[in-house]
Amino acid sequence: MTVLKGNLMFGQSGGPTAGINTSAAGVFEEALKHPDTIGKVYGAAHGIV
């Protein structure tokens, strides 16, 4: 199987602060588990890409 390697970008828009923060934390935690395939993590300003 071919493994993709690169950077990760995520965007969120709307919702309660606690939900947005928890989701963002999950993205970072999961990215840290895969340093061999995920380089940098970028967040889109205001959820707009």
- The reported pLDDT for the residue numbered 45 is 84
**Which tens digit of pLDDT belongs to each residue from 36-47?**
999 999 998 887
1 falls within a domain: no
- The reported pLDDT for the residue numbered 25 is 96
**Which tens digit of pLDDT belongs to each residue from 12-37?**
888 899 999 999 999 999 999 999 99
Q: How many domains are there within the chain?
A: 1
36 falls within a domain: yes
Residue 39: which domain range?
6-43
For residues 10-36, b (16+ Cβ closer than 10 Å) or e, as one string?
beeeeeeeeeeeeeeeebeeebeeeee
49 falls within a domain: no
Please give the average per-residue pLDDT across 1-12, as a whole number: 93
- The reported pLDDT for the residue numbered 49 is 65
14 falls within a domain: yes
